[in-house]
Amino acid sequence: MPAIYPFLCESLHPGNTIEAIIGPVKVKVVCGDITKEKTDAIVNSTNSSLDLNSGVSGAILKAAGQTVVDECKALGTQPSDGVVMTKPGNLKTKHIIHMVGQTKEKEITSSMLKVLKMCEDKKIQSVSFPALGTGRHNNNLFPQSWTRMEGKDLEIVTLAPSSGEYQRIEKEFIIQRIQSKDQWQRYAVKKQAMDKKYPKNKNELSLYHGTTKDICQKINTCGFNRSFCGRNATAYGDGTYFAKEMWYSCQDAYSNPDASGLKYMYRARVLVGSPCLGVQGMKEPNPLNPGDLHQGLHDCAVNNLQNPFIYVVFCDAGAYPDYLISFKTI
Write the pLDDT tens digit of every residue in 42-70. Answer: 999 999 999 988 778 889 999 999 999 99
pLDDT confidence band for 4 (50 / 70 / 90): very low
Burial of 160 (0-12, 13-18, 19+ CB in 10 A): exposed
- For residue 328, the model assigns a pLDDT of 85
End-to-end CA distance of the chain: 54
Position 228 confidence tier, pLDDT thresholds 50, 70, 90: low
**Which pLDDT score is estimated for 230?**
56
* pLDDT value at 206 more than 70: yes
pLDDT digit string, tens, across residues 277-303: 999 999 999 999 988 888 899 999 999
Domains in the chain: ranges and CATH: 4-133 (3.40.220.10), 173-328 (3.90.228.10)
197's CB contacts (< 8 A; 6+ apart) are: 273
Confidence label for 13 from pLDDT (cuts 50, 70 and 90):
low
Is residue 140's pLDDT more than 90? no
pLDDT band at 141 (very low <50, low <70, confident <90, very high): low
**For the chain, what is the mean pLDDT?**
87
Whether 309 has a pLDDT exceeding 80, the answer reads yes
Q: How far is CA 218 from CA 68, 116, 181, 185, 233, in A?
A: 72, 71, 15, 18, 18
Average pLDDT for residues 82-108, to the nearest whole number?
A: 93
Q: Taking the CB of residue 39, how many other CB atoms lie within 10 A of it?
A: 22
Q: How far is CA 94 from CA 71, 76, 128, in A?
A: 15, 22, 11
Q: Are 244 and 309 in contact (CB under 8 A)?
A: yes
**What's the whole-number mean pLDDT along residues 104-122?**
92
- Under a CB-based contact definition with an 8 Å cutoff, are residues 319 and 187 in contact? yes
* Residue 112 phi, psi (nearest 5): -65, -40
Identity of the amino acid at 71: E
- For residue 128, pLDDT over 90 is answered with yes
- pLDDT-derived band at 202 (thresholds 50, 70, 90) equals very high
* The pLDDT value given to residue 76: 92
Q: How many CA atoms lie within 13 A of 317 on its CB side?
A: 14
Q: Exposed/middle/buried for 62, CB within 10 Å: 0-12, 13-18, 19+?
A: middle
- Please, which pLDDT band fits residue 203 given cuts at 50, 70 and 90? very high
Q: In this predicted structure, what is the pLDDT of residue 193?
A: 95
| For range 118-144, the mean pLDDT | 78
Please answer whether residues 46 and 101 qualify as being in contact, where contact means their C-beta atoms are separated by less than 8 angstroms: yes
Please count the other Cβ atoms lying within 10 Å of the Cβ belonging to residue 269.
18
